[in-house]
Amino acid sequence: MATYADERSVIDIDAHILEPVGWLRGYATADVADRIPELASDDPEFARYLAEAERDHRRRCTDAAFHDEAERDYMKMSRKGWMSFGGWDTNERRRALDLLGFHRQLVFPTGSFAQVLQTPREFRASAIEAMNRGLLDFCSDPRLLATAYVPFEFGPAIAIDFVDTAVSAGASGLMVDSIPSVHQRSFTHPDFEPVWERIQESGVAVFLHVGADQNYRPVPKAFFDNGRDMAHFRSDAPGDPLSFMGIGYPAELFLASLVYDGVMEKFPRLRFGVTELGATWLPSFLRFIDTGHRSFRNIQDLSHLSMRPSDYLRRQVVVSPFAGEDVGWVMEQAGADMVAFSSDYPHHEGTDDPIRRFEASMTELDPDARSAFYDGNARRLLAL
């Protein structure tokens, strides 16, 4: 059977579950469920859309012709988001993977992560546990690889507990915030060294993802007081071009701190994936982090670094671009080993044909580089 991937061997390092109303609360313990804000509880328009999506799903389950139509249209933009085929139904997702032809697909949360961040702090750790359980349950097909969120804001001991629980349950990726919570020290503080050591021992990769930044926004609000209508559309990604310009900045800060403060030096087997944060910034970042080192090494003690800062990134980091970025140029500038395919399925940002959009900019890449993009870099990152 012909698949979307065609003859390519593809590992997708950024895909999603689109959680329905009640999903997160359903995985929470009884004493915590009511403390978790329900999806769309403060947004009537969004709530109507979610109700329509659930009706659409029920019809797919009972109307064979309608199900077949949804299956045929699974990559169309009208079938993205909560209207998607396989957004939260594992059986549908299995069929979607058959059609996509991807060998593996790494799955992140969508709406439930926002619910977790909105949960009162005293109940948030339990809400995170519920989200992680739900992701693992959804990823019952071996081709689906679950991520688990590891919060640093409650201190190193609790972070280690989350790592151990996720690894023992079979999680394939550990999602962390890219910007520290106001309740914690830097990720690079010596207090967190036992966490990084435990993650390194586990062999599971760490992932940064858009939205996992404790609501940090690099663009001050005053920039939007511009006399123009710059309404934000509903998405965990930037909803306007100005915000898009800073989308990779939290990842740059996170990675630079781990390099300069010696975490990557001390834990050389840590692996980091940067997902849905763009990739066009990567070549300049590799140059700029080395410039920072040259500029400050005679002012601050950076003698603990045994390599150029960019060499740590080349050794330990893989970035996934948005469909439509000039991935060929990024790989030519940054090297073929640092960039990996992602579909963002079934989010709208993934578009209706990400492979075609990537291919349009990869005409000058040799077969080895293309293979690294679609398969090899993700395989190394995920230790498959």
The answer as to whether 58 is a domain residue is yes
Return the minimum-mean-pLDDT range out of 74-78, 235-239, 265-269, 368-372.
235-239
- The CATH code of the domain that includes 102 is 3.20.20.140
pLDDT digits (tens, 9 = 90+) for 39-69: 999 999 999 999 999 999 999 999 999 999 9
pLDDT digits (tens, 9 = 90+) for 298-321: 999 999 999 999 999 999 999 999
The answer as to whether 2 is a domain residue is no
User: Would you say residue 234 has pLDDT above 70?
Assistant: no
Q: What percent of the chain stands above pLDDT 70?
A: 98
The answer as to whether 232 is a domain residue is yes
Residue 341, helix vs strand vs coil: coil
Q: How far is C-alpha 264 from the geometric centre of its chain's CA atoms?
A: 21
Contact predicate 17/88, CB 8 Å = yes
The answer as to whether 337 is a domain residue is yes
346-to-15, 171, 317, 351 alpha-carbon distances in Å: 7, 20, 25, 9
- Mean of the pLDDT values across residues 278-296? 97
**Range(s) of the domain holding residue 222:** 11-382
- List the structure tokens of 62: 């009972």
What span, in angstroms and rounded, lies between the C-alpha atoms of 188 and 291?
21
What span, in angstroms and rounded, lies between the C-alpha atoms of 118 and 164?
25
Nearest residue to 340 via CA among 110, 170, 173: 173
Looking up tokens 């085929």, which residue turns up? Answer: 85
pTM here is: 0.96
The answer as to whether 45 is a domain residue is yes
In this predicted structure, what is the pLDDT of residue 240? Answer: 82
In this predicted structure, what is the pLDDT of residue 232? Answer: 57
Averaged pLDDT of the chain? 95
Domains of the chain: total: 1
The alpha carbons of the chain give a radius of gyration, in whole angstroms, of 21
In this predicted structure, what is the pLDDT of residue 263? Answer: 98
Cα-Cα-Cα-Cα dihedral of 114, 119, 121, 122, to 10°?
A: -140
